[in-house]
Every structure is written in structure tokens, then in C-alpha cells.
Amino acid sequence: MSSYMNSRFRNLSPYTPGEQPQGRKYVKLNTNESPFPPSEGVLEAVNRSEAELLRLYSDPTSDPVKNVLAERYEVEPDQVFVTNGSDEALNYAFMAFGEDGIAFADVTYGFYGVIADFNGLRSRIIPLEEDMTLDPDKYKGIHMACVIANPNAPTGLMVPVDRIAGIAASDPSHVVIVDEAYVDFGGESAVRLIREYKNILVVHTFSKSRSLAGARVGYAIGDEALIRDLETLKYSSNPYNVNRISMAAAVAAVKDGEYYRKNCRTIMENRAWTVEELRKLGFSCRDSLTNFVFAEHPDMDGRKLYLDLKERGILVRHFDSERISNYNRITIGTREQMEFLISTIRELQG
Ligand SMILES: *Cc1c(COP(=O)(O)O)cnc(C)c1O
């Protein structure tokens, strides 16, 4: 660190993204990307004439994206906030609504703690239950904002949406942020609650179910007043936050909804197959509502399994934190990829 670094940031420990190897070709099951390409409509939208327009600034309102999303989710365009990846939406939401602190689980998306620190907010960690489910009652009476990944990563488990409503109802003076990055793989969305509960903010991404991780597009849906606050922060820091090419891709992706729904169904089928095979191999593996599974084996060390798979060309995600160090989070890919995973583990077991 240089001696010029603002003292406020000297103790930041930044998020460690999953490996993105640029050399060796791995079967990449470590960052929950889609194994399927973007839809034809997206490939057409990201064309030469859009590239020629790159000399012009992108639309700071993101209205084209807001309009298609509003139609898709049956909300108003001014109830939608469009961002450069959903990580940016989370950052603005913490910044805007986290003044009294921000509560989240011990086993959840690792970025929450980082952006809380980044914004100088108090984090309150609420441990998951013994079986890794989340007890919504523990989020009542805390007098601060909270963020719940629903379904959760890396556990793959979901809190029923009416329990989320219960948290919001218990304290109308704080915001409940619901991170639904994985909701399209069998979960239930809280979007329908935003009219009744002015303090629920739902965050979505194009990175997982819509095959656009590299485009960096996310959005938040909530009451107009919440969205206005987020817009104020955006226009105070990065007004042109979504680039032209990504915006064109996002609009086309929403229009091609059927293609992505079909891909999600395929992932869910491959997930069912993978869970069954992993259990046959002795893994304990909960029923997941996401595009990954979280698995551990009583006789295989989690970190060693991660390294052995890597050596054989398969990348999965291992987390060193103590409570989950025996687990690996495995993205669900194509059927062929999952067959390769299972046969490789079988070989490792000898
Ligand atoms: C992947 C992920 C995100 C971030 O998605 P981006 O839109 O790519 O920034 C947010 N929350 C959770 C829980 C995720 O797993």
C-alpha cells in the first residue's frame, strides 16, 4: 500500500472473485455462469452498428432496459434501477440504506461484508441454523437493514417469500434487500411484494440465468422512493454506469425470455441428475434451488477434492471459511460436463 492511501481504506480486505483462468481450458464449474450462449436476439443486438455508436455516451437513464423489465415483472419503469452488474446495485443499496448497520448470514455471498466495510457500515452477522437454513425471525428486532440472498449462495436453500414479508413488516423503518441472483432456477420471487412493502428492495442479475456475466448488467426493483434514492447516488458517482453494448444485450435478452426459460429448465434437469449421482457416490448434498449444488463427502477433504479436480481440468469453488471448508460449490453445466465431473470423482475415489 502506498503512503497516499486514504486511511479510511487501509484495512479493507477486498473480495476474492472465483478464478477466471485465461490459459488452460477448464470445465468451468466455479462461478455459476451459464454453460449456454446468449440468445440469438442478443447476438444480433451486439452488432457492428451498435459498436459504431460507441462514440456516443450511453443513455444515462437506462430507460430501454427499465421499460422491458417493467413489462416483464409487471411493475412501473420508475420502480426499476439498472446497474453495472448487480454488485453495483448492492453497493448503492448498502450505501443508501445501511446507515444503522447491515445484517446478513455467516454463510452467504462473500461480497456483502466487503461492501459494508467499503461504505463504513456496521455488519451484523446472523449465523445460519445448524442445518444451514435461515431463520427469518432472527432478522426481527435488529433495527437495521438486512440483505438475504434468496435462494442463498452457496447453500442453495430458500426462505419462503412470505417470511421475507414478515421481516419487512416487523420494521417498516429499515430496508430488506433480497438478492435474487438465482431465483430463475426454481425459486420464488419477492417482486410481487414491492407494492405492499415500501421497504423491500429486490436485486437481480443478468449474469446467471441470462448468460450475460461478461456484460455486467443487474437491476433492483422496489418502491419508487427507494429507486429515486439509488438514482441520486448513481448520478452522484457514475451517471453512465451501463455501457451501450450491454444495454442493447440486456434489452434483447429480456425479449428472448422463452430461450432463457428453456435453458433454466435444462439446468434444473441436470441439477437433479447431478445431485442423484453425487449422493450415490456418498456425498451429502441438499436439494438446491439454484444453478449450483453444495456438496460434502464424509471421507473426502473438501479442499483436497477441489485441488484434485483442478488437476484433472475441472474448476469448482472451495471456500476456506471454517464452517464450510469441507464443502465445494459446483456450478451446474451441460449434461456432458456433469457426466465428466461424476466420472472424474468416481476415479478419484478409486
Ligand atoms: C453472482 C452473484 C451476484 C453478482 O452478480 P453480478 O450481477 O455479476 O454482479 C450477486 N449476488 C449473488 C448471491 C451472486 O451469487
d(CA 337, CA 33): 13
- Name the closest-CA residue to atom 14, ligand 1: 181
Per-residue burial over 129-142, b = 16 or more CB atoms within 10 Å of its CB, e = otherwise = eeebebebebbeeb
Distance CA 30, CA 332 (A): 9
| Distance in angstroms (rounded) separating the CA atoms of residues 34 and 181 | 13
Determine contact, residues 189/203, Cβ cutoff 8 Å: no
Number of separate helices (H) and strands (E) present in the chain: 11, 12
Ligand 1 atom with the smallest distance to the CA of 32 is: 1
Cα 145 to Cα 99: distance, rounded to the nearest angstrom: 8
Distance 87 CA to ligand 1 centre (A): 6
Query: Quick check: CB of 153 below 6 Å from ligand 1?
Result: yes
C-alpha cell of 70? 417493467
What residues are paired with 230 via a beta bridge? Answer: none
Going by alpha carbons, the residue nearest to atom 1 of ligand 1 is: 181
Alpha carbon distance 248, 238 (integer Å): 19
C-alpha cell at 166: 414478515
Using a 6 Å cutoff on CB, does residue 207 contact ligand 1? yes
Mutation test residue for ligand 1: of 31, 34, 81, 86, the one with most atoms within 8 Å of CB: 86
How much is the pTM?
0.97
Q: How many CB atoms lie within 10 A of CB 313?
A: 13
d(CA 262, CA 81): 26
DSSP line for 27-58: EEESS---SSPPPHHHHHHSSHHHHHGGGSPP
Distance 110 CA to ligand 1 centre (A): 10
86 lines ligand 1 (CB under 6 A): yes
d(CA 73, CA 322): 39
Residue from 208, 292, 317, 330 to probe ligand 1 pocket by mutation (most atoms less than 8 Å from CB): 208
Confidence (pLDDT) at 22: 82
Q: Based on C-alpha coordinates, what's the Rg of the chain?
A: 20
Write phi, then psi, for 199 (nearest 5 degrees): -110, 20
Q: Which ligand 1 atom is at minimum distance from the Cα of 208?
A: 1
Q: Is 83 in the pocket of ligand 1 (CB under 6 A)?
A: no
How many Å lie between the centroid of ligand 1 and the Cα of residue 147? Answer: 13
Query: What does each of the 350 residues of the chain score in pLDDT, given as a tens digit?
Result: 999 999 999 999 998 888 888 878 899 999 999 999 999 999 999 999 999 999 999 999 999 999 999 999 999 999 999 999 999 999 999 999 999 999 999 999 999 999 999 999 999 999 999 999 999 999 999 999 999 999 999 999 999 999 999 999 999 999 999 999 999 999 999 999 999 999 999 999 999 999 999 999 999 999 999 999 999 999 999 999 999 999 999 999 999 999 999 999 999 999 999 999 999 999 999 999 999 999 999 999 999 999 999 999 999 999 999 999 999 999 999 999 999 999 999 999 98
85 touches ligand 1 (CB under 6 Å):
yes
Domains of the chain by start residue, with CATH:
17-37+258-349 (3.90.1150.10), 40-255 (3.40.640.10)
Which of 81, 34, 31 is closest to 223 using CA atoms?
81
The preferred substitution site among 179, 203, 211 for testing ligand 1, maximizing ligand atoms within 8 Å of CB, is: 179
Strands 314-316 and 218-221: unpaired
Q: Are strands 102-105 and 123-126 parallel, antiparallel or unpaired?
A: parallel
| Residue 24 pLDDT | 81
